[in-house]
Chain A
Amino acid sequence: MVVKSNQGGIGDIIEGIRDGLLFIPLYLPIALAYAVLAKIAGLSSLETVLWSAAVFAGMSQLASLNILMLGGGFFEVMITTLLVNLRHGFISLSLAPYSRGLSRKLLPIIGFTIATPSIGQIPARTEKEGSIKAYWLSTQICQYTQFVLFTLLGIWLGRMVPPDWKGVVSFAAPASYIGLTMPLLVSKPKAGLVVALTASVTGLGLCFSMNPGLAVIIAATIGASVGLFIKERDNV
């Protein structure tokens, strides 16, 4: 076993990139779908890739394109972006305790590249040995780079995935969310299960009355609150 320093070595960077590459099935379909829809919406190639590079939030970009095509303007797109990306604020909030050892100068770049997998990756990583800094930066930058490159690929290739198989490839998203929950569940088995089940049911139920992105935030808040009442055996 290689002994890892606190400052982070090449091993942590490689691990971060390797884990980042696991999300190719997550970013590829979103970026391709976005690039194809952007063309339909009438965006130029430059605008299409610039949006990915400046925002890095595929779901909000897709939703925004839908709004634009329905005739919405600046204000409507901002509201959509806010609602869909609000969960990133929530993820950022949840990750803040893990950022304590890091220099303040790194926060803008970490904040800019935060994506949904981070919320599973970073807490799971702190259960292991090694530098969180090198891992955090490398895995997020790796995912950001993928997203921009896949947008370019989508612009040029149009459709790589046949339309009737897009639903299959898109399962990458829920599958990766499930995979990411496992280390968290193992570290807190009882409360974790209660949190996950409560959030699942609430998050689905709330969809009937609100935007699904907002539903996720409220569901996670309710789930985590309920979890506070569950006592773990090995109280950590």
Chain B
Amino acid sequence: MSNVFAIIIGAAVLTFLIRYLPLSILHERRLPMLVEKFLSYTPLGVLAALATQSVFWKEGHFYSGLPNFYLLGAIVSVALGVATRKLGIVVIGGIGTVALATFIARLLV
């Protein structure tokens, strides 16, 4: 694979432009109120959509299989998030739940 370096450089330039240009163009420019409000909501939308996809979408297919340990982990994570609002607790609690469920499931098989 002699062209791997070309691919890496191409991907690097492309990714940098994707990340830098919106920041640079909108820097110091006041946006209309409605747009600012819209942009204050988009982070939530991105995070919620990503989380939902990783629970229900696996390898290009809707994951309807039960038991869905990720769903269980997500429910616990949301509950911990509401109760504590601490990122570390949410992450550790979520992974712990999925690990425990996986461990128990393997004992039963």
Q: List chain A positions with a Cβ less than 8 A from chain B.
A: 19, 22, 25-26, 42-43, 47, 50-51, 54-57, 60-61, 64, 68, 73-74, 77-78, 81-82, 85-97, 99-100, 102, 104, 107-108, 110-112, 114, 116, 119-120, 123, 165, 167-169, 171-186, 188, 191-192, 195-204, 207-208, 212, 215-217, 219-225, 227-228
Contact, CB under 8 Å: A179 / B90: yes
Q: Are A64 and B46 closer than 8 Å at their CB atoms?
A: no
Given A87-B46, A96-B27, A178-B94; 6 other pairs, CB 8 A cutoff = A26-B91, A64-B11, A107-B24, A178-B81, A179-B94, A204-B52
Q: Are A182 and B90 in contact (CB under 8 A)?
A: yes
- In this complex, the interface size class of chain B, counting residues with CB under 8 Å from chain A, is 35 or more
CB proximity of B68 to chain A, nearest CB, Å: 11
Task: Evaluate contact between B51 and A88: CB separation under 8 angstroms.
Answer: no
A84 to chain B, nearest CB (A): 9
CB of B8 within 8 Å of the partner chain: yes
State the majority secondary structure of interface residues on A. Answer: helix
Closest to A179 in B: B90
For B12, the chain A residues whose CB sits under 8 A away are 54-55
Residue picked from A107, A165, A173, A220, most chain B C-beta under 10 Å? A220
Contact B23 A180 (CB under 8 A): no
Given the interface pairs A174-B74, A195-B48, the reply to whether A111 lies near B24 with Cβ below 8 Å is yes
- Determine the distance from Cα of A50 to Cα of B22 in the docked complex, in whole angstroms: 25
Q: Which residues of B contact A (CB under 8 A)?
A: 1, 3-12, 14-16, 18-28, 31, 34, 36-57, 62, 69-70, 73-74, 77-78, 81-82, 85-91, 93-95, 98-99, 102
* 5 CB < 8 A contacts A-B: A47-B4, A60-B15, A85-B19, A93-B22, A200-B52
Query: What's the dominant secondary structure at chain B's contact region?
Result: helix
In the bound complex, residues from chain B placing their C-beta under 8 Å from that of A88 are 15, 18-19
In the complex, how many angstroms separate the beta carbon of A135 from the nearest chain B beta carbon? 14
A195 and B44 form a contact (CB under 8 A): yes
Are B8's CB and A47's CB within 8 A? yes
Q: Contacts of A174 on B, CB cut-off 8 Å? A: 50-51, 54-55, 70, 73-74, 77, 94
Bound CA–CA A77/B89 (angstroms): 37
A185: B residues at CB distance < 8 A: 44
Residues of B within 8 A of A212 (CB): 53, 57
| Across the A-B interface, the 9 shortest Cβ-Cβ residue pairs | A203-B49, A220-B45, A175-B94, A111-B20, A179-B90, A96-B26, A199-B45, A223-B45, A224-B41
Report chain A residues within 8 Å CB of B53: 203-204, 207, 212, 215-216
Contact A108–B20 (Cβ < 8 Å): yes
**If the complex has contacts A199-B44, A220-B42, are A92 and B27 also in contact, measured as CB distance less than 8 A?**
no
Residue of A47, A85, A224 touching B42 (CB-CB under 8 A): A224
Our pick among B3, B31, B34 for the contact of A74 (Cβ within 8 Å) is B3
Q: Which residues of B contact A220 (CB under 8 A)?
A: 42, 44-46, 49
